[in-house]
Structure 1
Amino acid sequence: MPTFSIIIPVYNRPDELKELLDSVAGQICRDFEVIIVEDGSEMKSEQLTFQYKQQFHINYLYQTNQGPGPARNTGAQQAKGRWLIFLDSDCILPNDYLNIISQEVDCEEFDCFGGPDRPHPDFNTIQKAIGYAMSSVLTTGGIRGAKENLDIFYPRSYNLGVRNSVFNSLKGFTNMRFGEDLDFSMRLLKKGYSTRLIKKAFVFHKRRNNFRSFFKQVYNSGIARINLEIRHKGTLKPVHWIPSLFVLGHILIVIGAFFNPWFLLLLMFIPTVLFFHAHHVTKELKTAFWAVPAAFTQTFGYGLGFFEAVISRKLLGKKEFHAFHENFYK
């Protein structure tokens, strides 16, 4: 019986999955199995998984498209490991990733863990810029799970581990399309289980390749924040309103610029700060330049989605929803 069962849901991403499986094959720790769950993909990865059967134990499962939460549940049903590790298919693991986790689970008493993410040096400029936007302290990086001191730590499903027994006691993930990982972590904490941030157990996370798909993702994250508040009362914090206030503030500044050109200086202040901070973090001039529109895409996308959900769910009392049903992956 392996210590770890690595569960990877995949949807039309065989090329990215290959990069992840190559990194799994290079792990120092070999006490694991891998379960691939194909969630109704047209571009299937079954033949790809055959290439790794001589390197480690890998199991391929196919189901009709149900979303990432149910796909992870399908994988967990077949898992034999004491710990379940959920990874997104667009991640790459450092070769000591499992070794670090193995040392932590042997020494510490916790029920669920997570780790941060970062861009790989070989990622393209847009991916690095989006990676900065999703992890920077100047955007929403501090409340996404990279730091423990800003909020309760909620592990995210791109890099999440949980005891098999605990996962089963919670009946796994719900059918939420976005925010399902936060919903899982919140239910876990409500049951009295504990979480732990393992800072050294990071993954390289590709995320989106363009701002259009990135906007759709973060817009749905803003909607999910309100959906989560309705499911879990009291989890919405003042910090979650910052992107929406950022959107409102910029609208007011633009309006003010029609009457007083000095307001244009305010419009330049935040991009300038973002540029120099991104350059300090990434050490790349080109990445720092693209980090500015990436950060604005993230903040505006999240803030606008948040606003729509506040109006739709809080004011009008409508049911749980998400946006871009028909073209999210286009």
Structure 2
Amino acid sequence: MFFSIIIPLYNRPQEINELLFTLTKQTYLQFEVLVIEDGSKNDAKAIVESYANKLDVKYYFKENAGQGFARNFGFERAKGDYFVIFDSDCLIPSNYLEIVKNYLYEHDLDAYGGPDAAHESFTPVQKAISYSMTSPFTTGGIRGNKKHVGRFHPRSFNMGVSRQAWEKVGGFILTRLGEDIEYSIRIHENGFKIGLIPDAKVYHKRRTSFGQFYKQLHFFGRARINIYKHFPKELKLIHFFPAVATVGMITTLLMNIFYPPLAYVLDFLVILYFMLIFFHSWSVNKSLKVAFLSIISSFIQLTAYGLGFIQDLFKRVVFKQQ
């Protein structure tokens, strides 16, 4: 089995350097790497070309059109049996392709996704963000969990598609706003089999500050409504949880200001919820600092996603704006 690893890139030369270095350590060597520079001003051509004697790597520069269409550009030039998509801010364990190859031979998936985790080199903020995106106490727990809700939809930071599926389904038709979920839905609808490979994890840096994380999650909330506009049946009750939690926390704040006696129960529930997050993060990360920061990152995850979801729910569904 030959893999084509496709990496869209936009103004992140240092990240691609770190990702390519981890790919030089792979135990399974039947793969090529295609780096698609999507109109970056700060390009990584010299960095990518410095790996020419270590990897079968190709560098392409195209006009900016977004990550989904950059991946399509790579699909069209890849020669692998299987296309593997990574975000540029990932670090790849040395046995990743070995795990994927063995699993695909046993389970015959047409597309797959894998979970993410925090690397030991990550900052405390990055570890807290990683926790909030993978914890069972936040909506992030469904992203790489065996017990996911409904059909499994791979996320494009760690996703694979067979050449056969791509040749029938085509590539991404959205370049942003939930493009990976939309793509996996079409793969499902064309009769192909998609599954989670539980051990095919990557170390996903995501964002390096809470401000950047807020913007990303607000975007994710809007993306869920974008998916709903294409596939109404894919909007599940669990997708409303961040919005409901956001409204609940705003209500709790208002009650504490205007009528404190009615806020006691809500205060208790909010405190209990974030205590569960604190102690669970402490047990997972073995760090009090990361546990405290996990309260902040989980709060941001819920409210940013919730506000983005509510914003486009009213804008695009209630008021039917484009």
> How does the TM-score come out when normalised to structure 2?
0.96
Structure 2 distance, partners of 1:193, 1:145, is: 20
What is aligned with 1:185? 184
> How many corresponding residue pairs?
318
Deviations 1:192-238 (A, max 9, x none): 11101111110000000011111111111111111101101200000
What is aligned with 2:276? 273
What is aligned with 1:257? 256
What is aligned with 1:72? 71
Shift of 1:171: 1.6
Is 1:129–2:128 an aligned residue pair? yes
The RMSD of aligned alpha carbons is 1.3
Of 147-156 and 88-97, deviating more is 147-156
Deviations 1:259-291 (A, max 9, x none): 225354444222222111111111111111101
Work out whether residues 9 and 71 of structure 1, in 8 Å CA contact, stay in contact via their aligned partners in 2.
yes
What is aligned with 1:222? 221
Is 1:317–2:316 an aligned residue pair? no
**Structure 2: gaps of 5 or more residues:** none
Structure 2 distance, partners of 1:48, 1:10, is: 12
Structure 2 distance, partners of 1:121, 1:130, is: 14
Q: Which amino acid aligns with 2:52?
A: K
Change (3 A) 1:195 1:31: same
Work out whether residues 274 and 292 of structure 1, in 8 Å CA contact, stay in contact via their aligned partners in 2.
yes
Shift of 1:146: 2.8
Work out whether residues 174 and 180 of structure 1, in 8 Å CA contact, stay in contact via their aligned partners in 2.
yes
Deviations 1:33-84 (A, max 9, x none): 0000001111111101111111121110001111000000001111000000
Work out whether residues 6 and 85 of structure 1, in 8 Å CA contact, stay in contact via their aligned partners in 2.
yes
Structure 1 distance, partners of 2:31, 2:74, is: 14
Work out whether residues 7 and 37 of structure 1, in 8 Å CA contact, stay in contact via their aligned partners in 2.
yes
> How does the TM-score come out when normalised to structure 1?
0.93
Deviations 1:74-95 (A, max 9, x none): 0111100000000000000110
Change (3 A) 1:185 1:145: farther
What is aligned with 1:282? 285
Shift of 1:253: 1.2
Is 1:300–2:303 an aligned residue pair? yes
Work out whether residues 253 and 266 of structure 1, in 8 Å CA contact, stay in contact via their aligned partners in 2.
no
Shift of 1:168: 2.6
Structure 1 distance, partners of 2:172, 2:132, is: 27
| Identity value in percent | 38
Q: SS of the counterpart of 1:234?
A: helix
Q: Which residues of 2 match residues 41-60 of structure 1 at below 5 A?
A: 41-60=40-59
Work out whether residues 142 and 148 of structure 2, in 8 Å CA contact, stay in contact via their aligned partners in 1.
no
Deviations 1:225-257 (A, max 9, x none): 111011012000001100000011111111222
**Structure 1: gaps of 5 or more residues:** 320-330
Work out whether residues 119 and 128 of structure 1, in 8 Å CA contact, stay in contact via their aligned partners in 2.
yes
What is aligned with 1:323? none
Work out whether residues 126 and 206 of structure 2, in 8 Å CA contact, stay in contact via their aligned partners in 1.
yes
Structure 1 distance, partners of 2:37, 2:177, is: 18
Q: Which residues of 2 match residues 22-33 of structure 1 at below 5 A?
A: 22-33=21-32
Shift of 1:107: 2.0
